[in-house]
Amino acid sequence: MRHLGPNWYASVMGTAIVAAAGTALPLHAPGLRGAYEAVWALAALMLLTLLGARAVHWVRHPDQARRHLDDPTVAPFYGCLAMALLAVGGATLSVGSGVIGQGPAVAADAVLWTAGTVVGLVAAAGVPYLMVTRHRIEPGQASPVWLLPVVAPMVSAALGPALVPHLPAGQWRDAMTLGCYALFGMSLLTVLLILPLVFSRLVHHGPLPVALTPALFLVLGPLGQSVTAVNNLADATAEGPYASATAAFAVLYGVPVIGFAVLWLLISVAMTVRAFRQGMGFAMTWWAFTFPVGTCVTGAAALGRHTGLHAFTWLAAALYVLLVTAWAVAGARTLAGLVSGRLLAAPAPAPLVPAPATVRTT
């Protein structure tokens, strides 16, 4: 358990989004619903197992846990804990309700959404605080991983609207809806601060290290999730005083952003092909191929629903094929790494570099 880091929550996120994104597509083939429910059950089991394992990690290895918080490459992954809670909660309501019933699904989602939102807010404020006060970051070290803690509130904004119909009419629903818009803005504006740093790092310092190349896909997360959020919020306000404004905003914001997401996807795929040619092997960073792509599936599907344009639906379907393929490969390789023990082994020590030879001039 000593080397079980918070990055493992990415596997829960990537599994839950497979089930949730599938239900967002207008596909009704026999057996699909059962497949989504099986994947949701797997995600829920993974979350419970990982929460227990991480609790053991904190109890038995508090020194290592504190070291993770002090490490600028590991601390951002605490945003994955929040997003794992939120993703499983959202999938429980959209997929699991057919298994456990509507009432229990709503209750489970409410608990997980609340817990995930609280953890997400702590991560969104706490990790940048640590970056400023305790981490030592050199020029050129900007990473897409920095997006993980600040994207968590966007996930809350995207999944919160599903709970609005289950709240009492009036103040409760209005507070939830406008609160989700506040979470949307909180995340979006912070992402707009980080993205230029990431692109500047790529332009001025070259590609990411080969093993970290999949992290480029993390940029798709705030893009796809923000499109999903504004469209879901438009659904939640369809009969309120803001109905026409939110519906227009969902399309006018969503279409340009999903266009940029497609552009970034093409860049990321090209960089990943380059990394494979240079010998990139499997690592837990491969889970970056899953959840961010899944958010683009739900975003494109929502635009197809609101615009009536079939092109968005076909885009969502194509991205879903990519998502399922990436999830199957990452899941199989992760399972093999767990069985062999390689993924939980201690990191290899850095090789000793001999001091350069000097010449005595006396």
What is the DSSP code string of 21-59?
HHHHS----TTHHHHHHHHHHHHHHHHHHHHHHHHHHHH
Q: Which CATH number goes with the domain that contains 134?
A: 1.50.10.150
Q: Is residue 286 part of a domain?
A: yes
The reply to whether 201 falls in a domain is yes
Nearest to 20, CA basis, from 81, 96, 85, 83: 96
Of 121, 100, 1, give the one whose Cα is nearest residue 44. 100
Rounded Cα distance between 139 and 142, Å, is: 8
Domain annotation covers residue 254: yes
Exposure string over 97-112, b if 16+ CB within 10 A, otherwise e: beeeeeeebbebbbeb
* Angle between helix 243-277 and helix 291-307 axes, rounded to 10 deg: 140
So what's the pLDDT on residue 138? 83
CB 158 within 8 Å of CB 91: no
| Domain residue limits at 120 | 6-340
* 304: in domain: yes
The parts of the chain modelled with pLDDT lower than 50 are 350-362
Q: How far apart are CA 263 and CA 344, in angstroms?
A: 35
**Residue 281 belongs to some domain of the structure:** yes
Q: What is the CB-side half-sphere exposure of residue 42 using CA atoms within 13 A?
A: 18
Per-residue pLDDT of 171-214, as tens digits, reads 999 999 999 999 999 999 999 999 999 999 999 999 999 999 99
Cα distance between residue 269 and residue 298, in whole Å = 20
The number of folded domains in the chain is 1
The helix/strand/coil state of 237 is coil
User: Is residue 20 a contact partner of residue 95, using CB atoms and an 8 Å limit?
Assistant: yes
In the chain, the amino acid numbered 134 is R
Q: What is the pTM of this model?
A: 0.92
Q: Is residue 352 part of a domain?
A: no
CA distance readout (Å), 192 to 146, 148, 151, 254: 12, 13, 11, 16
- The helix/strand count (H/E) of the chain reads as 12, 0
* CB contact at 8 A, 312 and 300: yes
In a domain? residue 1: no
Residue 282 lies in a domain: yes
